[in-house]
Structure 1
Amino acid sequence: MLPSTVFPDLKDRSILITGGGSGIGASLTEGFVAQGAKVAFIDIARESSTALVETLEKKYGSRPLYLDADLRDLDALRQAAAKAEAAHGPVTVLVNNAAWDDRHAVEDVTEDYWNLNQSINLRPQFFAVQAVLPGMKKAGGGAIVNFTSISFMINQGDLPVYTAAKAGVIGLTKGLAGALGPDKIRVNAIAPGWVMTERQKTLWVTEEGLKAHLGKQCLKEEVLPDDMVGPCLFLASDAARMLTAQTLIVDGGCL
């Protein structure tokens, strides 16, 4: 369930979300549309993204802009950001959500795999910021929300290249916060716990594994994609006016 809180300053704001067509990203896209924002999202999953656009238009009377682009292609990323700005004005909220949590063993990682993983999980976050930065500065400021993960904080061992990228997201967040603060641009991160997306349930969730994980949480309920929306809206809004360089952990109290 989406949060009922309304952030008036988000109405008509130009929002760009990466990976906004499914999972956590789809909830974020809906959450900003529900606030009355002008939302554009990037995704390579055409079918689910197109369906999401139609669903949200029927539900809210507002049609988000779907941008079909592969974030590994930096030129395509830059072009998508330019299209978002052309349609909705300078992006003043960027949500770097896209990720690929593929499981892998240390022994199986090749140089090509390492580069592929980083080209999805870390590199686009920087270059998406770079792409929207001129417009955000011209607009007088904005907010950037980078998605990381608690996986590296809990020493999760079955995806070490991914956890390296997600640790890097926090370093990137703090560095960007320092660099962009003088331009009134806030940069924060959200670290989700184990969120029960359809992908997780299809590929990784077992009854035994979920029970064990919930046993570590203070709140004994599954963390859902919609649970990421409230924290993201807050960090994007003027309610977080003096909050930057921080990481907000949303994991049901696992840590």
Structure 2
Amino acid sequence: MAGGSNDATYPSLRGCPVLITGGATGIGEATVRRFAGQGAKVGFLDIAQEQGRALAAELSEDGAEVCFVPCDLTDIEALRAAIQQVAGTLGTIRVLVNNAANDDRHDWREVTPDYWDARQAVNIRHQFFAIQAVAPGMIEAGGGSIINFGSISWMLGQGGMPGYTTAKSAVHGLTRSFATDLGRHGIRVNSVTPGWVMTQRQLDLWVTDQAMKEIEQGQVLNGFVQPDNLARMVLFLASDESAMCSAQNYMVDAGWL
């Protein structure tokens, strides 16, 4: 489990049922580890079955209460069933982290209607339906916290992936709308916007020497944003320490924007 002597402890997260989408690798994995380290009851979904099962087994051996459910989030009925399974195992979901996404590059000239719809399905549609699935339980329980992941890419005006950047820009509208609809029920809804995060996927596919130079020039802080930097922000927004924070967007980008 993640954790160290200098790490913050959030008593409100101990025993709290949490659901994280895309939790098997990258930012999601770091977030799963952080919640497990807080003593939360951690459920996570991912299409990456091998990595998800390995992570769940590791954390369970360390004493964490973890529930992994393999799921293709673009299949909304499967998503609903998976959320119901997690809630049945861990209890009413009190924290939802909508982390899952896919930033495949694509040329606008070659985008078909089916491909466009697929980009929206994997990057924004499941966020709405995950919220729809957990919100009734949160309302009945008296409150909760929802954290939606955006992206710095559209803010920087990056090209080469219009389906992705369009979906990610919509996350902020989704967040503010749900913050209004759910706020009177004690449910806080916020967005987290990462800078360029050094996940293994990014390192394998997109981070070149030139990209490293662009990051170093764009950021005001030295170093590179790591998955755990995002997980720490998510913990704060999930906890009672952020009790009056809602309808906001929190940047974790080393000061790029």
One-letter amino acid matched to 1:150: I
Q: 1:117 aligned to 2:119?
A: yes
- Cα deviation 1:199-253 (Å, max 9, x = unaligned): 0000001112112211110112011111111110011111110110000010011
Percent same amino acid at aligned positions?
A: 48
Contact 2:221 2:254 in 1 (8 A): yes
Partner of 2:163, secondary structure, is: helix
- Cα deviation 1:50-80 (Å, max 9, x = unaligned): 111122223x311411011111111100001
Partner of 1:151, secondary structure, is: coil
The list of structure 1 runs, each at least 4 consecutive aligned residues, that deviate by more than 4 angstroms after superposition, is: none
State the shift of 1:134 in Å.
1.4
Match of 1:217 in 2: 219
Match of 2:252 in 1: 250
Point out the more displaced range, 186-195 or 207-216: 207-216
Match of 1:45 in 2: 48
TM-score in terms of structure 1 length = 0.97
Question: Partners in 2 of 1:14 and 1:113 — Cα distance?
Answer: 35
Match of 2:101 in 1: 99
- Structure 1, unaligned stretches of length 5 or more? none
Question: Partners in 2 of 1:82 and 1:214 — Cα distance?
Answer: 43
Question: Partners in 2 of 1:2 and 1:27 — Cα distance?
Answer: 11
TM-score in terms of structure 2 length = 0.97
Q: 1:27 aligned to 2:26?
A: no
Question: Partners in 2 of 1:206 and 1:115 — Cα distance?
Answer: 29
Q: How many residues align?
A: 254
Partner of 1:154, secondary structure, is: coil
- Structure 2, unaligned stretches of length 5 or more? none
Question: Partners in 1 of 2:211 and 2:144 — Cα distance?
Answer: 40
Contact 1:192 1:250 in 2 (8 A): yes
- Cα deviation 1:131-186 (Å, max 9, x = unaligned): 11111111100000000001010001111110100010000000000000011100
Question: Partners in 1 of 2:12 and 2:86 — Cα distance?
Answer: 19
